[in-house]
Structure 1
Amino acid sequence: MAQQFVGKWNLIESDNFDAYMKQVGVGLITRKMAATLKPLLEISVEGDHWKLHSQSTFKNVLTEFDLGKEFEETTADGRVLKSTFTFEDGKLIQVQKKIKDGDKDSRFVRYIEGDKLIMEMESEGVKAKRVYERAQ
């Protein structure tokens, strides 16, 4: 099931992403810039080892992890959080836990629906959704 995530994905739709970014503490200028970007997401999987490489004109971010192992993640906007990824029922689940006061916990669920990669995110009741389509 994990292999269905492998490949390159183009962002085509965002819903409530600005509100989510504001909730987790992303500054106004960074939020406005992020709203204009259409990143390319490249996913590779080897066993339990995953790489999520998000590429845009603003910033490239590589997140590399092993399923079930907590690690320190630096987000695109510079926050440092504890992250754990698991794979359950065909969905890639990510839980981010705050390290310092002022930061927020978040939960991401990524799954395939038809030819789309859906990413749903939530922090303290604020939800957002991003939709990607497979790159040609």
Structure 2
Amino acid sequence: MGLLYNLPRPLRERKQERGQRGGGSPRFPALSRSHSFCSPSLVSFQPSILPICPVMPPNLTGYYRFVSQDNMDGYLRALDINVALRKLVCLLKPDKEIIHAGDHMTIRTITSLRNYIMDFDLGKEFEEDLGPVDERKCQTVVSWEGDQLVCEQQGEKRNRGWRHWLEGNHLHLRMTAEDEVCVQIFQKVK
């Protein structure tokens, strides 16, 4: 009978009526023979009382080799990079090395022309010197949005930033500036 008090009142009364009409179990007269203790009709599922488990973001630590890119020229044009340098940068095949330790990350972009190192704490704003890229400085914050690492760069250029995410062994990088979007894909090698 104790199980009946966990049921909503109208359902509990219907179960009690069935038990009084007969056909119930001798030990639990309100239960018909066709019900078991795991029957969905006896269990009310209330997702609001289940604990919410936070999803841990992926660990991006690794060394990644360049696979492909799309619209690098448009992205660099939005950053006001001159034609000669744009052509040179579009020929580069950068590697990425990411070291992810708790809330601290280091992302190294390695090319034959020059390297760029970004060293930061997640969720904390810092002044980023983009001298090696386009001779600008901006206020930057990097944080997780689900399983994507998202960077927002506030400065002279509108809508500037990037996001990294993993799909299998491929690291994706989506960079934005103004209305331009560049996508790079890297293969994890170690």
Aligned position for 1:7: 62
Question: Comparing both structures, which one devotes a greater share of its residues to strand?
Answer: 1
Q: Give the CA deviation at 1:10.
A: 1.1
1:32 aligns with 2:87: yes
Structure number with greater CO (CA < 8 Å, separation at least 6) is 1
Aligned position for 1:126: 180
Could you tell me which amino acid in structure 1 is paired with residue 144 of structure 2? Answer: F
Aligned position for 1:91: 148
TM-score (norm 2): 0.65
- In structure 1, stretches of 5+ residues that fail to align are none
Which of residues 112, 122, 137 is equivalent to 1:80? 137
Q: Secondary structure at the match of 2:172?
A: strand
Measure the CA separation in 2 of the matches of 1:83 and 1:30. 24
Q: Give the CA deviation at 1:96.
A: 0.7
Give CA-to-partner distance per residue, 1:49-100, whole Å, 9 cap, x none. 00001111100111000111111112232321111100121100000111xx
Aligned position for 1:109: 163
TM-score (norm 1): 0.89
Measure the CA separation in 1 of the matches of 2:137 and 2:83. 19
Single out whichever of 6-15 and 75-84 deviates more from structure 2.
75-84
Measure the CA separation in 1 of the matches of 2:189 and 2:83. 30
Identity %: 27
Report how many residues are paired. Answer: 131
Larger Rg: 2
Could you tell me which amino acid in structure 1 is paired with residue 125 of structure 2? Answer: E
Which of residues 52, 55, 63 is equivalent to 2:107? 52
Measure the CA separation in 2 of the matches of 1:135 and 1:25. 33
The two structures, once aligned, show a CA RMSD in angstroms of 1.3
Q: Secondary structure at the match of 2:123?
A: coil
Question: Comparing both structures, which one devotes a greater share of its residues to helix?
Answer: 2
Which of residues 71, 74, 79 is equivalent to 2:126? 71
Q: Secondary structure at the match of 2:67?
A: strand
Measure the CA separation in 2 of the matches of 1:121 and 1:7. 20
Measure the CA separation in 2 of the matches of 1:10 and 1:74. 25
Measure the CA separation in 2 of the matches of 1:30 and 1:96. 22
